[in-house]
Amino acid sequence: MNADPLTDFSRLCVHTITTKGWDLEEAVDHYAQAGVSGITVWRQWLEGRDPSKAGKSIRAAGLKVVSLCRGGFYPAVEEKSRLDAIEDNKRAIEDAAALGAPIVVLVCGAVPGQSLVESRMQITDGIAATLPLAESLGIKLAIEPLHPMYADDRSAINSLASANDVCDELNHPLVGIAYDVYHLWWDPDLEAQTRRTAEANRLFSFHVCDWMTPTTDLLNDRGLMGEGCIDLRGIRGMVEDSGFKGMIEVEVFSNRWWEKPPQEFLQAIKQSYLHYT
């Protein structure tokens, strides 16, 4: 393809949570009008909707369903809660299949006070328990390592190495990694681990945003690409040199941006995608 890089949105995907003020139908309309190519649907956006109908209308608008976000949260002290989590992940896999999303992104979970080693074992077992269903429906499961600041209650998998270790253990072509620059940019081992991820054919998703200095909220103060300190071009180059050709997914949780009209935010996303990503 020789598309003009300054108007090429063929790999731009937006997560529905990024434009939080819009429901699914509004997001689809606005993304399609803006020339965005893909959508990652967060599960809340499917509530009260038939996922298969939702998938059809997304495709009819010309958008590609990139992934369903998110499953995970496997670890729990009580066995009953772990089994409930497995059931919930099975529902996510079924919804992804109905929606036509090839990937379920996994925020794997952690329990304050339970050892990270124990949580990682529960995560591995939880994913393994859903693999037969994922296999029967052909859905990929993408483990998203989260920044270590979330190791208490969001994910016991906090580096690309750790995510790769779980993938090695499960050793299944449908288990791979959602690579999010926000969570991984700081890692001195990033280059070697990116190579390891790519060589194992498990780089399933690529999420972008930026790291604000100072960060004023642990969850909802992400920057738009170019607003912060992440070497986005460098990391994207590394990921693409390793063979990744998938969508570039904009996933920004930002109270600052959410205060503005979503339409203004979407235009800023397009500019920031073209100029800083």
Contact set with Zn ion (CB under 5 A): 180, 207, 251
Query: Nearest approach, Cβ of 25 to Zn ion (angstroms)?
Result: 24
In the chain the first and final C-alpha atoms are separated, in Å, by 19
Q: Least distance from C-beta 85 to Zn ion, angstroms?
A: 19
The conformation of residue 165, written as its DSSP 8-state character, comes to H
CB 209 within 8 A of CB 225: yes
**Considering the complex, what minimum distance in angstroms separates the CB of residue 7 from Zn ion?**
26
Write down the least CB distance from residue 180 to Zn ion, Å.
3
In 3D, which of 33, 42, 37 has the Cα closest to residue 67? 42
DSSP letter at 22 equals S
Residue with Cβ nearer Zn ion (15 or 120)? 15
Q: What is the nearest approach in angstroms of Zn ion to the Cβ of residue 57?
A: 25
Nearer to Zn ion among residue 126 and residue 145 (C-beta): 145
Based on CB atoms, which residue is closest to Zn ion, 82 or 221? Answer: 221
Residue 180 or 187 with smaller CB distance to Zn ion: 180
- β-sheet bridge partners, residue 249: 13, 207
Q: What are phi and psi of 9, to 5 degrees?
A: -110, 20
Quote the CA–CA distance of 236 and 223 in Å, as a whole number: 17
Beta carbon of residue 150, minimum distance to Zn ion (angstroms, whole number): 11
Report d(CA 254, CA 216) in Å as an integer: 10
Give whichever of 221 and 251 is closer to Zn ion, judged by the CB atom.
251
For the CA atoms of 86, 43, 14, 197, the dihedral, rounded to the nearest 10 degrees, stands at 0
Q: Distance between CA atoms of 217 and 256, rounded to whole angstroms?
A: 11
Q: What angle do CA 30, 34, 38 make, to 5 degrees?
A: 80
State both tokens at 253.
């949780």
Q: In terms of CB distance, is 72 or 75 closer to Zn ion? A: 72
